[in-house]
Amino acid sequence: MPTQTSRASHHLPRFEDAEPLGPQDAEFARDIKAVLEKHGNLDRFGLVLLHDHFSVDSDEVLVETNDPQARTLHVEVEKKAETKHARPSQWRFAADAEETPTAQRDSTPYEVLMLCLTLACEDR
């Protein structure tokens, strides 16, 4: 579940309004697949529908935990400075015109949307 920051430039549509991947996106999906294949990342990355269920401030991040026995996922909001969860699991591309704090600091064209509780992720 990607997140929306409180900055206006990062507005995401509500889930109910977000347009899902469809037949009109076939060429786009083939292009993305070809790039992932070219770089050996076809089994590492995929697509997610960026959407919002609630706002998440720029000093917060979504954190995913799981219960392998119950086969459930849980997502909570934590303060970035206070979270002990350091393994990113979802990212969002930053538009060229946008310079997000993450993109500036790391010289990357993306920002972290969600972290995963490391031990729970590795227990799978």
Distance between terminal CA atoms of the chain? 19
Under 8 Å between Cβ of 52 and 13: yes
Per-residue pLDDT tens for 42-55?
999 999 998 889 98
pLDDT at site 107: 73
Is the model's pLDDT at 66 over the cut of 50? Answer: yes
Q: 31 pLDDT band (50/70/90 cuts)? A: very high
Which pTM does this prediction carry?
0.68
User: Which residue reads 């509780």 in tokens?
Assistant: 117
CA distance 120 to 17: 32
SS3 21: coil
CB atoms within 10 A of CB 109: 15
| Average pLDDT of the residues of the chain | 80
